[in-house]
Protein backbone atom coordinates (compact mmCIF):
# COMPACT_ATOMS: atom_id res chain seq x y z
CA UNK A 1 0.00 0.00 0.00
CA UNK A 2 2.82 2.36 0.88
CA UNK A 3 4.45 1.50 -2.39
CA UNK A 4 1.22 2.49 -4.03
CA UNK A 5 1.05 5.69 -2.04
CA UNK A 6 4.56 6.51 -3.03
CA UNK A 7 3.69 5.94 -6.63
CA UNK A 8 0.72 8.23 -6.26
CA UNK A 9 2.93 10.88 -4.74
CA UNK A 10 5.53 10.46 -7.48
CA UNK A 11 3.34 9.82 -10.45
CA UNK A 12 -0.12 11.01 -9.73
CA UNK A 13 -1.82 14.07 -8.40
CA UNK A 14 -1.62 15.90 -11.71
CA UNK A 15 -4.09 18.46 -10.51
CA UNK A 16 -2.04 19.11 -7.41
CA UNK A 17 1.04 19.32 -9.59
CA UNK A 18 -0.72 21.80 -11.82
CA UNK A 19 -1.82 23.88 -8.91
CA UNK A 20 1.70 23.92 -7.51
CA UNK A 21 3.10 24.68 -10.94
CA UNK A 22 0.69 27.56 -11.29
CA UNK A 23 1.62 28.93 -7.90
CA UNK A 24 5.33 28.55 -8.60
CA UNK A 25 4.92 30.15 -12.03
CA UNK A 26 3.21 33.07 -10.33
CA UNK A 27 5.96 33.27 -7.73
CA UNK A 28 8.62 33.07 -10.42
CA UNK A 29 6.99 35.81 -12.47
CA UNK A 30 6.86 37.96 -9.38
CA UNK A 31 10.55 37.31 -8.71
CA UNK A 32 11.48 38.07 -12.31
CA UNK A 33 9.44 41.25 -12.30
CA UNK A 34 11.33 42.38 -9.24
CA UNK A 35 14.76 41.55 -10.68
CA UNK A 36 16.13 42.51 -14.08
CA UNK A 37 13.83 41.16 -16.75
CA UNK A 38 15.10 38.08 -18.56
CA UNK A 39 13.45 36.17 -21.36
CA UNK A 40 11.25 33.20 -20.47
CA UNK A 41 11.83 29.74 -21.81
CA UNK A 42 9.01 28.83 -24.22
CA UNK A 43 6.32 26.78 -22.47
CA UNK A 44 6.45 23.97 -25.04
CA UNK A 45 7.51 20.34 -25.12
CA UNK A 46 9.92 21.21 -27.94
CA UNK A 47 11.74 23.64 -25.63
CA UNK A 48 11.75 21.12 -22.77
CA UNK A 49 13.06 18.28 -24.89
CA UNK A 50 16.04 19.90 -26.61
CA UNK A 51 18.05 17.26 -24.77
CA UNK A 52 16.69 14.67 -27.24
CA UNK A 53 17.67 16.55 -30.42
CA UNK A 54 21.39 15.66 -30.81
CA UNK A 55 20.62 11.93 -31.03
CA UNK A 56 16.99 11.71 -32.20
CA UNK A 57 16.73 14.76 -34.46
CA UNK A 58 14.79 18.00 -34.16
CA UNK A 59 11.43 16.27 -34.64
CA UNK A 60 12.33 12.74 -33.57
CA UNK A 61 13.07 11.78 -37.17
CA UNK A 62 16.45 10.26 -36.24
CA UNK A 63 19.94 11.38 -37.24
CA UNK A 64 22.77 10.13 -39.38
CA UNK A 65 24.12 8.19 -36.42
CA UNK A 66 23.49 4.48 -37.02
CA UNK A 67 22.70 3.61 -33.44
CA UNK A 68 20.08 6.23 -32.55
CA UNK A 69 16.50 5.42 -33.48
CA UNK A 70 13.72 7.48 -34.99
CA UNK A 71 11.04 8.20 -32.36
CA UNK A 72 8.41 10.13 -34.34
CA UNK A 73 5.16 8.30 -34.97
CA UNK A 74 5.89 5.27 -32.84
CA UNK A 75 2.90 4.29 -30.66
CA UNK A 76 2.78 6.27 -27.41
CA UNK A 77 2.37 3.09 -25.34
CA UNK A 78 5.58 1.69 -26.81
CA UNK A 79 7.50 4.93 -26.18
CA UNK A 80 6.18 5.09 -22.62
CA UNK A 81 7.26 1.50 -21.96
CA UNK A 82 10.76 2.34 -23.18
CA UNK A 83 10.99 5.56 -21.15
CA UNK A 84 10.01 3.70 -17.97
CA UNK A 85 12.35 0.80 -18.81
CA UNK A 86 15.26 3.23 -19.27
CA UNK A 87 14.43 5.06 -16.05
CA UNK A 88 14.19 1.85 -14.03
CA UNK A 89 17.19 0.20 -15.69
CA UNK A 90 15.21 -2.63 -17.31
CA UNK A 91 16.61 -1.43 -20.63
CA UNK A 92 20.31 -0.67 -20.22
CA UNK A 93 21.86 2.25 -22.08
CA UNK A 94 23.70 4.54 -19.64
CA UNK A 95 23.21 7.87 -21.46
CA UNK A 96 19.43 7.30 -21.54
CA UNK A 97 19.30 5.76 -18.05
CA UNK A 98 21.10 8.87 -16.77
CA UNK A 99 18.80 11.37 -18.51
CA UNK A 100 15.56 9.81 -17.28
CA UNK A 101 16.60 8.71 -13.80
CA UNK A 102 14.66 11.33 -11.85
CA UNK A 103 11.50 11.85 -13.92
CA UNK A 104 8.03 10.76 -12.82
CA UNK A 105 5.49 8.85 -14.93
CA UNK A 106 3.18 11.76 -15.87
CA UNK A 107 6.05 13.63 -17.54
CA UNK A 108 7.31 10.50 -19.29
CA UNK A 109 3.78 9.97 -20.64
CA UNK A 110 3.74 13.53 -22.00
CA UNK A 111 7.11 12.90 -23.67
CA UNK A 112 5.79 9.67 -25.20
CA UNK A 113 2.63 11.41 -26.46
CA UNK A 114 4.70 14.24 -27.91
CA UNK A 115 6.93 12.02 -30.04
CA UNK A 116 4.06 9.69 -31.02
CA UNK A 117 2.19 12.60 -32.58
CA UNK A 118 5.09 13.99 -34.64
CA UNK A 119 5.13 13.35 -38.39
CA UNK A 120 8.42 14.76 -39.72
CA UNK A 121 9.70 14.13 -43.22
CA UNK A 122 11.36 10.71 -43.19
CA UNK A 123 15.10 10.23 -43.55
CA UNK A 124 15.99 8.35 -46.75
CA UNK A 125 16.36 4.58 -46.30
CA UNK A 126 19.91 3.24 -46.32
CA UNK A 127 21.34 1.18 -49.13
CA UNK A 128 22.03 -2.31 -47.79
CA UNK A 129 25.64 -3.43 -48.07
CA UNK A 130 24.81 -7.14 -48.01
CA UNK A 131 24.42 -9.69 -50.81
CA UNK A 132 21.06 -10.09 -52.63
CA UNK A 133 20.75 -13.57 -51.05
CA UNK A 134 21.02 -12.13 -47.52
CA UNK A 135 18.54 -9.41 -48.41
CA UNK A 136 16.11 -12.03 -49.73
CA UNK A 137 16.49 -14.02 -46.51
CA UNK A 138 15.71 -10.84 -44.58
CA UNK A 139 12.55 -10.21 -46.59
CA UNK A 140 11.47 -13.81 -46.07
CA UNK A 141 11.94 -13.65 -42.28
CA UNK A 142 10.14 -10.33 -41.97
CA UNK A 143 7.13 -11.24 -44.11
CA UNK A 144 6.83 -15.01 -43.67
CA UNK A 145 9.00 -16.00 -40.69
CA UNK A 146 10.74 -19.35 -40.36
CA UNK A 147 8.32 -21.96 -39.08
CA UNK A 148 10.92 -24.71 -38.84
CA UNK A 149 12.91 -22.62 -36.33
CA UNK A 150 9.92 -21.18 -34.52
CA UNK A 151 10.39 -17.65 -35.88
CA UNK A 152 7.12 -15.78 -36.46
CA UNK A 153 7.04 -13.16 -39.24
CA UNK A 154 7.78 -9.61 -37.97
CA UNK A 155 4.73 -8.38 -39.87
CA UNK A 156 2.49 -10.61 -37.72
CA UNK A 157 2.83 -8.15 -34.83
CA UNK A 158 4.49 -5.07 -36.33
CA UNK A 159 1.87 -4.74 -39.08
CA UNK A 160 1.72 -5.41 -42.82
CA UNK A 161 3.38 -2.04 -43.49
CA UNK A 162 5.70 -2.53 -40.46
CA UNK A 163 4.49 0.71 -38.89
CA UNK A 164 3.52 -1.00 -35.61
CA UNK A 165 0.21 -1.39 -33.79
CA UNK A 166 -1.43 0.68 -31.10
CA UNK A 167 -0.85 0.88 -28.21
CA UNK A 168 2.62 -0.60 -27.79
CA UNK A 169 4.05 -2.48 -30.81
CA UNK A 170 6.69 -0.26 -32.44
CA UNK A 171 7.13 0.38 -36.14
CA UNK A 172 10.26 -1.15 -37.66
CA UNK A 173 10.70 1.08 -40.71
CA UNK A 174 12.78 4.22 -40.60
CA UNK A 175 15.42 2.55 -38.43
CA UNK A 176 19.00 1.77 -39.38
CA UNK A 177 20.47 -1.72 -39.63
CA UNK A 178 23.02 -1.18 -36.83
CA UNK A 179 20.26 -0.12 -34.42
CA UNK A 180 18.00 -3.06 -35.27
CA UNK A 181 20.74 -5.67 -34.92
CA UNK A 182 21.96 -4.05 -31.68
CA UNK A 183 18.41 -4.30 -30.25
CA UNK A 184 18.01 -7.94 -31.29
CA UNK A 185 21.34 -8.62 -29.56
CA UNK A 186 20.20 -6.70 -26.46
CA UNK A 187 16.99 -8.77 -26.26
CA UNK A 188 19.00 -11.95 -26.54
CA UNK A 189 21.60 -11.00 -23.93
CA UNK A 190 19.18 -9.45 -21.48
CA UNK A 191 20.32 -5.81 -21.53
CA UNK A 192 16.91 -4.91 -22.99
CA UNK A 193 14.02 -6.57 -21.22
CA UNK A 194 10.26 -6.07 -21.23
CA UNK A 195 7.31 -7.08 -19.08
CA UNK A 196 6.79 -10.87 -18.98
CA UNK A 197 6.13 -12.73 -21.17
CA UNK A 198 9.04 -11.07 -22.96
CA UNK A 199 8.12 -12.07 -26.52
CA UNK A 200 11.03 -10.31 -28.22
CA UNK A 201 13.47 -12.16 -25.99
CA UNK A 202 12.04 -15.43 -27.35
CA UNK A 203 12.09 -14.25 -30.97
CA UNK A 204 15.65 -12.90 -30.75
CA UNK A 205 16.86 -16.13 -29.15
CA UNK A 206 15.56 -18.17 -32.10
CA UNK A 207 17.45 -16.11 -34.72
CA UNK A 208 20.96 -16.95 -35.92
CA UNK A 209 23.62 -14.24 -36.35
CA UNK A 210 23.05 -14.34 -40.12
CA UNK A 211 19.29 -14.02 -39.62
CA UNK A 212 19.85 -10.90 -37.52
CA UNK A 213 22.06 -9.33 -40.22
CA UNK A 214 19.49 -10.23 -42.90
CA UNK A 215 16.46 -8.88 -41.02
CA UNK A 216 18.25 -5.67 -40.06
CA UNK A 217 19.54 -5.02 -43.59
CA UNK A 218 16.18 -5.60 -45.26
CA UNK A 219 14.19 -3.52 -42.76
CA UNK A 220 16.65 -0.63 -43.03
CA UNK A 221 16.35 -0.64 -46.82
CA UNK A 222 12.56 -0.15 -46.74
CA UNK A 223 11.14 3.35 -47.21
CA UNK A 224 8.70 4.74 -44.65
CA UNK A 225 5.17 4.59 -46.14
CA UNK A 226 3.37 7.91 -46.77
CA UNK A 227 1.25 7.35 -43.64
CA UNK A 228 3.60 5.99 -40.97
CA UNK A 229 0.85 5.71 -38.34
CA UNK A 230 0.59 2.41 -36.45
CA UNK A 231 -2.49 0.26 -37.16
CA UNK A 232 -5.29 0.48 -34.55
CA UNK A 233 -5.32 -1.69 -31.45
CA UNK A 234 -6.55 -5.24 -32.08
CA UNK A 235 -6.10 -5.09 -35.88
CA UNK A 236 -3.70 -8.03 -35.79
CA UNK A 237 -4.09 -11.21 -33.79
CA UNK A 238 -0.56 -11.60 -32.53
CA UNK A 239 1.08 -15.04 -32.79
CA UNK A 240 2.88 -14.52 -29.45
CA UNK A 241 1.81 -13.28 -26.02
CA UNK A 242 3.66 -10.08 -25.12
CA UNK A 243 3.58 -8.56 -21.63
CA UNK A 244 4.07 -5.06 -23.08
CA UNK A 245 1.10 -5.26 -25.47
CA UNK A 246 -2.16 -5.89 -23.61
CA UNK A 247 -4.44 -7.82 -25.98
Q: Which residues bind other proteins (CB under 8 A)?
A: 1-3, 6, 9, 13, 16-17, 20-21, 24, 28, 31-32, 35, 38-41, 47-55, 65, 87-90, 94-95, 97-104, 106-107, 110
For other proteins, give the closer residue by CB, 39 or 129.
39
Handedness of CA 9, 74, 221, 58 (dihedral sign): negative
For other proteins, give the closer residue by CB, 21 or 241.
21
For other proteins, give the closer residue by CB, 59 or 97.
97
For other proteins, give the closer residue by CB, 24 or 235.
24
For other proteins, give the closer residue by CB, 66 or 140.
66
CA distance 216 to 232: 25
Minimum Å distance from CB 166 to other proteins? 24
Q: Specify the 3-state DSSP secondary structure of 192.
A: strand
Minimum Å distance from CB 42 to other proteins? 9
Minimum Å distance from CB 39 to other proteins? 5
Minimum Å distance from CB 68 to other proteins? 8
CA distance 42 to 78: 27
For other proteins, give the closer residue by CB, 101 or 209.
101
Minimum Å distance from CB 123 to other proteins? 17
243 touches 197 (CB < 8 A): yes
Cβ atoms within 10 Å, residue 63: 17
Minimum Å distance from CB 101 to other proteins? 7
120 touches 72 (CB < 8 A): yes
Q: What element of type H or E holds 2? A: helix 2-11
Handedness of CA 66, 70, 75, 81 (dihedral sign): positive
> Which residues, 6 or more positions from 89, have their beta carbon under 8 angstroms from its beta carbon?
97
Amino acid sequence: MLNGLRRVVRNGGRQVDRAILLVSVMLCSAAVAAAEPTEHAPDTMEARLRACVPCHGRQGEGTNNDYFPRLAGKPAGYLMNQLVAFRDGRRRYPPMNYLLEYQADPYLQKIADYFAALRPLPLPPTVADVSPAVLARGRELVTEGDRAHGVPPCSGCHGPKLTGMEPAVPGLVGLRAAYISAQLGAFRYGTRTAAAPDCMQLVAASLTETDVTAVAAWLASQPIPPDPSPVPKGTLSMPLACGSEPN
